[in-house]
Chains A and B, each alone.
Chain A
Amino acid sequence: MSNVVQLPRWIDVGVLPLLNLLLALVVSALLVLAIGENPVEVVEILLYGAFGYDEAWGYTLYYTTNFVFTGLSFAVAFHCGLFNIGAEGQAYVGGLGVTLAALYLDFLPFPLMLVVGMMAAAIFGAAWAYIPAYLQARRGSHIVITTIMFNFIASSLMVYLLVNVLRPQGSMTPESEQIAEHLRLPFIHDMAAAFGIDMASSPLNLSFVYAIAASILVWMFIWHTRWGYAIRTVGANAVAATYGGIDPGRYIIIAMMISGALASFMALNEVMGVQHRLLIDFTAGYGFVGIAVALMGRNHPFGIFLAALLFGMLYQGGAELSFEIPTISNDMVVVIQGLVILFTGAMEHMFRPRVTKIYTAWRLRRDRMEAA
């Protein structure tokens, strides 16, 4: 590239993603127009549905929780140069870990269960990520293909377990038994009520706090630990890492296992927090949305949190949308997701040359003015 000008950070992580997001939203708006509805009205309903009333906030943040975990999961692997498309399967298997722990260790007191549940999720999710990671690191199998395959294998495995093993006797629906009441994560509205604060009830629970903590931990891990440094080095240049005494294979496996564990924390929110049992396909595509969240958030925990909030808003608002405008289903939200991934992920370079040109011209002019 002949362009020597480095874009300043605020353009790179601020302006460019926003431009791409804007483009995705403009295309979505055109689609709404084509269907024959008013985009402004759609935006109003979306915003009202997401933030307009007490309960809506809770739902928005509940969805946000899932997206934070899957977004962080994708980001950690991505820093190591890996595409972990397998968050869906890893979270699914992680859910199995939480459920088994809660069902078979139900004598534990809640605080202990909280730790055990987290560990169970992390171990199961990390184990599911380990096999593709090992195959990539030691046998050179392409991680994208293997993680896709592992999503399907996880799906078959879980259907088998739910239908044949975990389903309580006499029940027709393929889902596990309910987990004991004292092991469930407390809802935020109940916690608030204990302090005398009145909040509308929503599925938002303790795992939201954990999601924030996890974001901070991931930030510290990636930028302020040896392992994080090694992972970023491998991601930037595996050959250079080898010369620097870092074994890329080792860190590919570490990054993927952490990624799998992070994805599986989504199960804490769903299984221990909201559904209180293991359901078929409880991951419902959150793993894939995590890709969009991480790409939009530029793989930084803070950006991921903002992007997760955006998608949480779209999810909750989208549910409202299908009530208000029958011709627009909440599939609109899926379309927006797709467009966001397309524009912020796949076509991220589209605006860059133009923005660089404008920025260079602007700086040249400023320099000349200063000189004069």
Chain B
Amino acid sequence: MENFELVILLLDATLRTSTPLILAALAGMFSERSGTINLALEGMMLGGAFAAAAVAYYAGSPWVGLLAAIAATIALSLLHGFACITHKGNQVVSGMAINILMSGFTALVGIALFAQGGKTPALDKASRFQPITLPGAEAVRDVPILGPIYFELLSGHNILVYIAFFAVPAAWWVMYRTRFGLRLRAVGENPGAVDTAGISVVLMRYRAVVCSGVLVGMSGAYLSTAQGASFLQDMTAGKGYIALAAMVFGKWRPFPALFACLLFGFLDAAATRLQGVILPGIGEVPVQLVQALPYVLTVILLAGFIGRATPPKALGRAYVKER
């Protein structure tokens, strides 16, 4: 029974750690399926987290903060698009630039506005996303097995967690069942053909990066106004890159990416739990190994040892009309 509780708690933590990854991985997917590499997830997440926390503090509402985060990340996406799509700049370089820029910018503006060493002031309850108790959770709490699963695991998360999990089927539907999705995928595989069909490649790609901005903005807001209660300097701590790895691990598809995010989130949650724990027979678990596992797995996948990860064909190449 004690083990069961432990598993439930671990899975509960997994849902919380994988939420920002899911949103960011989907964001990366929208951008990359349309042919624009998005290494800037890390920086955009950071920018979103800062905007959400700062605006939620002034406005006293997490929803206004969320809107601000989305606005900020859309702006960053447009900047990325301006460099990569309009000016055909190097997409990797642009992504790195945004990451470095935001790492400095959020700290600089944070210090200038709040003078708390790069932090934003702690948010009170009203300006954060609060846990939601699902209907009937209290009632079934004491039912064995199913009770804890419903009460501990499924209920009691904030709205952004539910949005993230809902976003996966939604993204799948948009990507594979709508005209917009078809065109978006086509523009990442064979932009020439899309152009011939009379659809603007540039406009399609801009739309895709805006979708990407909306999603990554939510993941940033989650970090600072749902999971945490303020913005901290460099609080993303590589989550944008993990999300990128998860997207690659999920082979640029929504449901496999979800699976990868859950796996990486689980490893993260497990690493926190395993800190200093001595397992019988194994000894102390090297936490760093567990932390490095997402990256190692992604490299192994990319090397072609677990299936084949084929990126969109036109990924990373700006579209040039009429040579």
Contact = CB atoms under 8 A, between A and B. Distances in A.
A and B part of one assembly: yes
A342 B241 contact: no
A362 interface: no
Contacts of A327: 111-112, 115
Interface string A278-294: 00000000001001100
A152 B295 CA distance: 7
Nearest to B286: A160
A329 B98 contact: no
A145 B97 contact: no
Contact of B304 (A139, A145, A349): A139
B165 interface: no
A341 B97 contact: yes
Interface of A is mostly: helix
Is the interface on chain B under 10, 10 to 19, 20 to 34, or 35 or more residues? 35 or more
Contact of A288 (B100, B288, B303): B100
Given A135-B303, A153-B296, A346-B94, A145 B248 contact: yes
B89 A348 contact: yes
Interface stretch (B54-62, B102-110, B144-152, B156-164): B102-110
A149 B92 CA distance: 15
Given A149-B299, A332-B108, A341 B244 contact: no
A156 B291 contact: yes
Interface in A197-239: none
A174 B194 CA distance: 55
Nearest to A349: B87
A193 to B, nearest CB: 38
Contact of A342 (B94, B111, B304): B94
Nearest to A322: B111
A355 interface: no
Contacts of A334: 100-101, 103-104, 107-108
Contacts of A328: 108, 111-112
A336 B108 CA distance: 11
Interface string A330-348: 0111111111011001111
A150 B299 contact: yes
Interface of B is mostly: helix
A342 B238 contact: no
A125 B233 CA distance: 30
B298 interface: yes
A347 B295 contact: no
A8 B241 CA distance: 40
A331 B101 contact: no
A333 B292 contact: no
A274 interface: no
Contacts of B82: 347
B302 interface: yes
A142 interface: yes
B105 A345 contact: no
A223 B286 CA distance: 46
A349 B102 contact: no
A90 to B, nearest CB: 15
Given A156-B288, A288-B96, A341-B93, A149 B298 contact: yes
B118 interface: yes
A328 to B, nearest CB: 7
B291 A141 contact: no
B190 interface: no
Contacts of B104: 331-338
Contacts of A153: 292, 295-296, 299
A275 interface: no
Interface string A131-155: 1100100011110111011101100
B302 A146 contact: yes
Given A140-B304, A153-B296, 5 more contacts: A157-B292, A338-B97, A342-B83, A342-B98, A345-B89
7 contacts: A141-B304, A149-B296, A157-B288, A328-B108, A338-B97, A339-B97, A345-B90
Interface of A: 31, 35-36, 83, 85, 131-132, 135, 139-142, 144-146, 148-150, 152-153, 156-157, 159-160, 163-164, 288, 291-292, 295, 326-329, 331-339, 341-342, 345-350
